[in-house]
Amino acid sequence: MNKQIRRISNFSSLPVLLFVLLMQIAVLLVQTAVTLLRKTIHLTLDQTTVSFLAYTLIYVVIGGGVLLIFYLSRGRETGLRLPQVFCKPQQSAGWIWKWFVIIWGLGLLTAMLTNLGLQYLQELLHFQMRQPDFDSNFGSGVAGTLVMLLALSIYAPVMEELIFRSAVYRHTEIMGQGFAILFSAAMFGLMHGNLTQLFYTFVMGMGLAYLFAKTRSLFVPMLLHFCINTFSALSSVLLRADADDPEKLVQSLLDGNMMKILGIAGYAMIIYGLIIAAVVLGIIELVRAIRRRERLQGGIFPISGVKKTLVFLSAPVTVITLVVLLGILVLNTLESIH
């Protein structure tokens, strides 16, 4: 039984390990190619073009290749097929949108609490941490915005849902739905490789996996992932993060820039509205679940949760994957401190 659990663990972690390692290699290859082009033929590519090439290589070529390997090997052996997840949801539209609000709002609350916690930690330990600057990765102008939307709103929702929900979650589900939700969410959070996003993406990963577990359709988590990323990208472009900077907000008011003030006010209303609605709806759903004694499906292995977890996490590929992901997280965190 332990051997079977470790085998499940190894194949659940392998897509994540391959994707992360090849993603790091892809970034180095693109950077090297850009440098060689500049030195040999004096061709300088702008940031928008570089970002388009990098994200296309990472998500389309590498992500697609990893999924192909998984489904041709383990998928064929276990009966996992991609057409199985592209189907009509097993829940109503009302149920889906209700959980969209709960998951999105709780994710935003987690992000807010994480930022407050990191700010307190920096003040306590007297250091500063640079926040990830996603805007600068795509360049400026209309072309930069379009590439950012392509990467964050199309590439990421499609490929990340295919990897983490369709492959990792489904393959781990035999251990129990709750276990699979937590494991796939932990991998999803660590994959982002920075402390600022770690807890937020972990919570979102749990929500996205829960949606898939209940609807059995990958369209549902893909749609929520698309909505979240698109809203974040457009907010970043339109507001340039002024909503989080009181000094810029006051200066906009003094300058009489009412369009920006209205935009920031609308942004804040959406954010806080989602958080409040998520907390209220989440409490209601929790009370209902307790009263009805609703539970997620258990696994097939008749052993305690602690032992099952220890055996699962002791699988060699899983150990290597966690070490690599934690190593990248630590290096990125140290690099951001100045």
Question: Nearest to residue 150, comparing CAs of 65, 239, 64, 60?
Answer: 60
pLDDT at 180 over 90: yes
Q: 174 and 300 in contact (C-beta within 8 Å)?
A: yes
Burial of 218 (0-12, 13-18, 19+ CB in 10 A): buried
Q: Give the Cα separation of 311 and 146 in Å (integer).
A: 45
| Tokens 């969209």 sit on residue | 100
DSSP state of 71: I
Average pLDDT, the chain: 89
Which residues make Cβ contacts (< 8 Å) with residue 44, sequence separation at least 6? Answer: 37, 38
Q: Per-residue confidence at 254, pLDDT binned at 50, 70, 90? A: low
Specify the pLDDT at position 243: 46
Per-residue pLDDT, averaged over 325-332, amounts to: 94
For the segment 99-156, what is each residue's pLDDT rounded down to a tens digit? 999 999 999 999 999 999 998 988 888 888 877 766 667 877 888 889 999 999 999 9
Among the residue ranges 55-69, 215-229, 296-310, the one predicted with the least confidence is: 296-310
Q: Per-residue confidence at 85, pLDDT binned at 50, 70, 90? A: very high
pTM comes to 0.92
Specify the pLDDT at position 201: 96
Query: Of all residues in the chain, what percent carry a pLDDT higher than 90?
Result: 63
Specify the pLDDT at position 137: 75
For the segment 224-250, what is each residue's pLDDT rounded down to a tens digit? 999 999 998 888 777 754 544 555 555
Q: Looking at the 3D structure of the chain, how many domains does it have?
A: 1
Higher pLDDT, 137 or 193: 193
Provide the residue range defining the domain that includes 41.
Answer: 2-336
| Tokens 């032992």 sit on residue | 307
